[in-house]
Structure 1
Amino acid sequence: MDRIKNPSIKLKRHLEYQEYEDIKSLRKYCVEQDNVALELELDYKLS
């Protein structure tokens, strides 16, 4: 996994498709590495 450059948190009403895919990838990585369950509810944010 690539290192994150300039990490930050943004609150947005809608996600762009690439942001959506990036978050899904991060979620998958977290689940695989840390064995956690995440409820992100991203589908309704995708515009």
Structure 2
Amino acid sequence: MMNNNELAELIIEQANDAVIYADHQGNIQRWNDAASRLFGFSKAEILGKV
């Protein structure tokens, strides 16, 4: 059985809509495949950026 964090990550990754999360300093912490398709940046290119 999955824990809540694993379930949340699975939902974010499989969402058809772009899901982007930035911390209080504006650093991008979450970026799903739909965000990559929409904006043209891979996770590797964008995670940790402001």
TM range (shorter): 0.3 to 0.5
Higher relative contact order (CA 8 A, sep 6+): 1
Q: What's the TM-score once normalised by structure 1's chain length?
A: 0.37
**TM-score, normalized by length of structure 2?**
0.36
